[in-house]
Amino acid sequence: MENIKEFSRKTFLQDSFTYLGSGSFGGKAEGLKLLHEISENPIFDKYPDFEVSIPKTIVITTSYFDEFMEQNDLYPVALSEKDDKLISYQFQKASLPPGILGDLRIIASKTTPLAIRSSSLLEDSAETPMAGIYATKMIPGNQPDPGTRFRKLTEAIKLIYASTFFSAPKISMTATGNDIYSEKMAVIIQDVSGLQHNRRFYPDISGVARSFNYYPTGHSESEDGVISLALGLGKFIVDGGNPWPYSPAAPSAPPPYNSINDMMKNTQASAWAINMNILKEYNPISENEYLIKVSLKEAEYDNSLKYSVSTYDPYSDRLEPGISISGKGPRVITFAPILQNRELPLNDILIDLMTISKEKIKSQLEIEFAVTIPKDSETKNQLSMLQLRPLNISEEKVTINFSTIKKENIILKSVNSMGNGTNNNIKDIVFINPDDFNFKDSTRIAREIETINKQMIHEKKQYILIGFGRWGSSDPWLGIPVNWSMISAAGVIVEASLHGRPVDMSQGSHFFHNITNLRIPYICIDDFSEDFLNWNWINTNCNNTNSLVKRTKLDNPLKVKIDGRIHTGVIFR
């Protein structure tokens, strides 16, 4: 295996993994080091049409972060209560250490899209997960002037540094008992996986593979894992979109929808890409400065839907894998050409990847990846491994005996519960009344929850959070668009369906990774099952009635039990 080398200006175009500085790599980059080693495993030789690797990677270690903070005297503003924008502006005005500028100019000589990613000391560790808390910025790298490319690279690095001290990490650090002052940030500079299609750049497929699945369907088992796939950049998945989930043990199993009509309404309708065109608005402190949405119609024009869509035939009321020869019929993202027709051995590669990765780290895990299908037949398909995180799975044996619990004392019962364990210390419920809820209010509700969460942190209390749709979704019409820091004091999270409208949870999101690694129960209440939620009791004991988000304070703690073996949960008094 090629060793990870110190960055060299002479050979950096040939070197696959290098570093700058003398400090720590940070959690995310350590995961990439493991994936770099795993990519050399001869098991992948049986897939001659695929190259399995990590993208070209350069790590700026934490020693440069220390130097940057000290030479610009940034700790006073970084540790202040100023908002994220003001902190970002101060960091943009600061100067990067002189010792790194020459190397960055060499890196900026490339004219390819780059992902500038965080890799903090605590990020992606099993004990203190901070997934999705820090910034990531993608830049096109296609400006003809190398000076402009260099400036965009330095702006992105300073944004990553600034995000170490944004409000979300500060709140999360407090909630997990860590000291923000001790956190340090390494930065990953990585080639973006994908191809340029006209004036947009994106991979054909992005995905998240988890070796353990809390919500197996059909005949699948939890240990079979779950894989989520999407068209375009992986931002769609990790931000809580609605990707295509499947069990690697049963890739062609029927999807979790009640009808084809439901599937067409709920599957992916657009994808994220890097804008390779003229920048619409200069905004160096925005992660999305260079990102754009791509419609399915545009993606079909780009010829990038070959392996991801099915075509709806209204005459037979069926979905046919692939693009219809006639060109007619709506396109639906199902990845049927891969999962049903096995036109690419992607599922087999991912099973092998998860198996050898689990053996390597001795833990359940999550891997982010991207797949690029070349335009010419002479170039291999590319599976790029982007991130590896351990999953913290509870081994506690919990038994729920409903015969010993009085029916009138049950607040909640669910056969769709994620997690495992008990909690007997929660005296507060934060909830949204179903009679008052409308998805148009989701953003306002998120802000009200954030305010209550801060109060709970101050009071050093946990609470049960109950809402509708998909918690953590970036789309307010799918659920409440909270990030982890906005609900970091929640001890139990409940997702209830509303008026028969189920929403499948996104197990590939950063939000879910933090929940699982902190072992926070995530309970789904489904109208179409034996699940139960005692709204009358919750409302009767409510302490505030005017706001959209309500709070019930109790004198005695509730009892929470989750049996992860049978995915059953109960909350009772």
Predicted local distance difference test score (pLDDT) of residue 115? 97
How large is the average pLDDT for residues 226-234? Answer: 95
Please report, in angstroms and rounded to a whole number, the separation of the first and last CA atoms in the chain: 57
Q: Comparing C-alpha atoms, which of 134, 3, 127, 124 is closest to residue 386?
A: 124
Helix axes of 62-71 and 98-107: crossing angle, nearest 10 degrees: 130
- Long-range contacts, 477-481 (Cβ 8 Å, 24+): 477/439, 477/442, 478/240, 478/242, 478/503, 479/240, 479/442, 479/503, 480/432, 480/442, 480/445, 480/446, 480/449, 481/240, 481/442, 481/443, 481/446
Residue 1, pLDDT above cutoff 50: no
Q: What is the pLDDT of residues 537-551, one digit of tens each?
A: 998 888 776 789 999
Q: What is the pLDDT of residues 500-532, one digit of tens each?
A: 555 555 555 656 666 766 778 889 888 767 888
How large is the average pLDDT for residues 80-95? Answer: 96
CA distance 119 to 208: 18
How large is the average pLDDT for residues 96-102? Answer: 97
Q: Comparing C-alpha atoms, which of 184, 239, 229, 175 is closest to residue 204?
A: 229
Q: What is the pLDDT of residues 172-201, one digit of tens each?
A: 787 777 788 888 999 999 999 999 998 999
Helix axes of 98-107 and 146-163: crossing angle, nearest 10 degrees: 120
How large is the average pLDDT for residues 254-279? Answer: 84
Which range among 141-155, 164-178, 238-252, 396-410 shows the weakest confidence by mean pLDDT? Answer: 164-178
Predicted local distance difference test score (pLDDT) of residue 394? 73
Q: What is the pLDDT of residues 336-395, one digit of tens each?
A: 999 999 999 999 999 999 999 999 999 999 999 999 999 888 899 999 999 999 887 777
pLDDT band at residue 477, thresholds of 50, 70 and 90?
A: confident
How large is the average pLDDT for residues 436-451? Answer: 92
How large is the average pLDDT for residues 541-564? Answer: 88
